[in-house]
Amino acid sequence: YYISTVSVLANLVILPLSGILLGCTMLAALSGMIFLPLGVFLAGPVYVIFQIYEKVCQMVTMIPYSYVAVGKPPVIGILCFYGLVCLICFYRPQRRFCVGTAVCTSLLLVMLMGNRLLWHRNTLAFLNVGQGDCAVLTTYDHRAIVIDGGGKYNKELGENTGVTILEPYLASKGVTQIDAVFLSHLDGDHSTGILELLDDMPVEGIYVSAMKAADAQMDEQLQEIVEKNQISLYTMKHGDMIHSTALGEMKCLFPIYEDQAAESENERSLVLRYAYGDTSVLFTGDLEAKEELLLERNNLIEETDILKVSHHGSKTASTESFLQALTPDTAVISCGANNLYGHPHKEVLERLSACGAEILRTDEMGSIVVTISPEGEAEVTTAAERKPIYERIKEAMEGTPIP
């Protein structure tokens, strides 16, 4: 998802040495078959050349803007690019050359700049991080907001969902800096990926619950990473919000009061309501039934188009009265396949169906992406619907129904 602007400089050194490298490698290999010490000795130039390669690559990547993040290009953009290359290489300057070049160039510009200039659609992705929560909002002007980062308990930092799932997705969107990170609470299946992200990418600010952390160890680890990377840390309670034309509005509904007591991390989960155009999304973290009741009693529940179901579909949340007050059109459940907790529970699925919500699950459908327009239209696609072309051709040939 990156383009190198310095590869030509590096190749000025790398390419002239490649012939010597190949010759020395073959000579060392053949000699080693006859007399091993001679082969080891002749491998010395190979080692030296590889050291030169490494140093050259390190030096050129230190040059400012040595790599430019472009994200994942659309298929039509790739076709237009190669069409433009073919026109330039194989067609003489004539009318059809000029017309073809103009068409391909225009299409490329539309692919690259169209959303920013014309359509203003934001993208909200509920990433499939297994048994955990992670959502990424990218705006039409290339801003990015992350809500939780998932996390696997059997993986160390540096090998977890932040590095393996969250950061590659951000790279595919051409994102190199995060405007805001919202961490609902400190349970590892929500926070581990965030801890990795804070260490690896520039983040302007991280927002956490104003209630006192129940997990002192995780809170201390978060504080250390925030201080080390000089990231601004903000606490949120009911009424706090961030707002901009491109982003829309992100408003905190819970905790209601800063001095609320919580016996567990789940009970201090941030509840966030995102609105863009006429579309609204409610993020509930791992909120439990008791806190849902507090929201109801304080008249903080509004009808919501998309609900991120609390606690991965646990039966200890998503009460009937809470769902009836929200009346969501779409309910997204983020959970792991065949997880040990039995999420989502049958009772929750029945309650969601009863309130008329379409249920989308990451364990069955993979990552779920919502494209939101300022006019209020929301288009939902899932990873299960975005199969590679070769798989779809195979399924068609085998007579398997294609979703």
The partner residues of 272 in beta bridges, in order of sequence, read 252, 283
Instruction: For 280-338, write each residue's pLDDT tens digit.
Output: 999 999 999 999 999 999 999 999 999 999 999 999 999 999 999 999 999 999 999 99
pLDDT in tens, 142-156: 899 999 999 999 899
Mean pLDDT of 269-273: 97
Over the chain, what is the mean pLDDT? 91
- The tally of CA atoms less than 13 A away on the side-chain side of residue 141 is 6
Cα(380)–Cα(235) distance, integer angstroms? 31
Residue 110: predicted pLDDT: 86
Helices 44-61, 7-34: axis angle to 10 degrees equals 160
> Average pLDDT of 12-31?
93
Beta-carbon neighbour count of residue 98 at 10 Å? 12
Average pLDDT over residues 87-115: 80
pLDDT single digits (tens) 212-256: 999 999 999 999 999 999 999 999 999 999 999 999 999 999 999
DSSP string, 291-352: HHHHHHHTT-----SEEE-GGGG-TTS--HHHHHHH--SEEEE---TT-TT-PSPHHHHHHH
Q: What is the greatest pairwise CA distance in the chain?
A: 85
| d(C-alpha 67, C-alpha 132), whole Å | 32
Instruction: Report residue 51 as tokens.
Output: 């050291």
Q: Rounded to the nearest 10 degrees, how much is the dihedral formed by the CA atoms of 18, 22, 27, 29?
A: 130
Tell whether the model's pLDDT for residue 403 goes beyond 70: no
Contact 317, 311 (CB under 8 A): yes
Inform me whether the pLDDT recorded for 75 exceeds 60.
yes
Domain extents for the chain?
2-69, 75-118, 120-385
How do residues 371-384 score in pLDDT, each as one tens digit? Answer: 999 987 899 999 87
The separation between CA 269 and the C-alpha centre of its own chain, rounded to angstroms, equals 21
DSSP state letter for 147: E
Close Cβ partners of 72 (under 8 Å, ≥ 6 residues apart): 1, 172, 173
Rg (CA), the chain: 26
Residue of higher predicted confidence among 397 and 185: 185
CATH superfamily of domain region 120-385: Ribonuclease Z/Hydroxyacylglutathione hydrolase-like (3.60.15.10)
pLDDT band at 402 (very low <50, low <70, confident <90, very high): very low
pLDDT of residue 74: 83
Pairing of the two strands 144-149 and 232-236: unpaired
